[in-house]
Amino acid sequence: MHSGRVAVVGGSIAGCAAALALRRAGAEEITVYERAAGRMTDRGVGVAVHNARYAELESAGYLDASIPWVQITRSRYYVRDDAAAHHPLGREIAVLPFPFRTYNWGSLWHDLRRRMPGTADVRPGSVVEAVEATPEGAEVHTGGRSERYDVVVGADGYRSAVRASVYADVRPEYAGYLAWRGAYPASRLNAAQLLPEDEGAYIVFEGGHLVVYRIPDETGGHRVNWILYTTPPPGLDQGMDTPTSLPPGTAGDGLRAHLADVCAESLPPYWADLVRATVHDELFLQPLYDFTAPHYAVGRALLIGDAATVARPHTGAGAVKALQDATVLETALTSTTTWSEGLAAYDTGRAPSGRVMLDLGRRLGRALVTETPNWRTFDQTGLETWWKQATGTGEFGGRQLSR
User: Would you identify the CATH topology of the domain 70-104+173-289+374-391?
Assistant: D-Amino Acid Oxidase; Chain A, domain 2 (3.30.9)
* Upper half-sphere CA count for residue 128 (Cβ side, 13 Å): 30
Percent of the chain residues topping a pLDDT of 90: 83
pLDDT tens-digit map of 271-308: 999 999 999 889 989 999 999 999 999 999 999 999 99
Reported pTM: 0.95
- The stretch 54-58 carries a mean pLDDT of 97
Q: List, in sequence order, every residue forming a beta bridge with 200; answer none if it has no partner.
A: 75
Whether the per-residue pLDDT at 182 is higher than 70: the answer is: yes
DSSP string, 63-108: --TTS--EEEEEEEEEE--GGGTT-TT-EEEEEEEEEEEEEEHHHH
Please tell me the predicted confidence (pLDDT) of residue 2.
62
**Is the pLDDT confidence value at 124 over 60?**
yes
Contact (CB, 8 A) for 136 and 300 = yes
In this predicted structure, the answer to whether residue 42 has a pLDDT above a threshold of 80 is no
Which pLDDT belongs to residue 97?
A: 97
Percentage above 70 pLDDT, the chain = 97
Rounded to the nearest 10 degrees, the angle between the axes of helix 13-24 and helix 105-115 is 20
A 10 A CB-CB count for 8 gives 31
Top-level class of domain 5-42+106-172+291-368 = alpha beta
Tell me the domain boundaries of the chain.
5-42+106-172+291-368, 70-104+173-289+374-391
User: Is residue 154 a contact partner of residue 160, using CB atoms and an 8 Å limit?
Assistant: yes
Q: How many Cα atoms within 13 Å fall on the side-chain side of residue 72? A: 29
CA atoms within 13 A on the CB side of 338: 8
**pLDDT score at 245:** 79
336: pLDDT strictly greater than 80: yes
What is the overall mean pLDDT for the chain?
Answer: 93
Q: Which range is least confidently modeled, 72-76, 125-129, 234-238, 242-246?
A: 242-246
Q: Confirm whether 5-42+106-172+291-368 and 70-104+173-289+374-391 share one CATH topology.
A: no
Residue-wise pLDDT tens digits, 125-159: 999 999 999 889 999 999 889 999 999 999 999 99
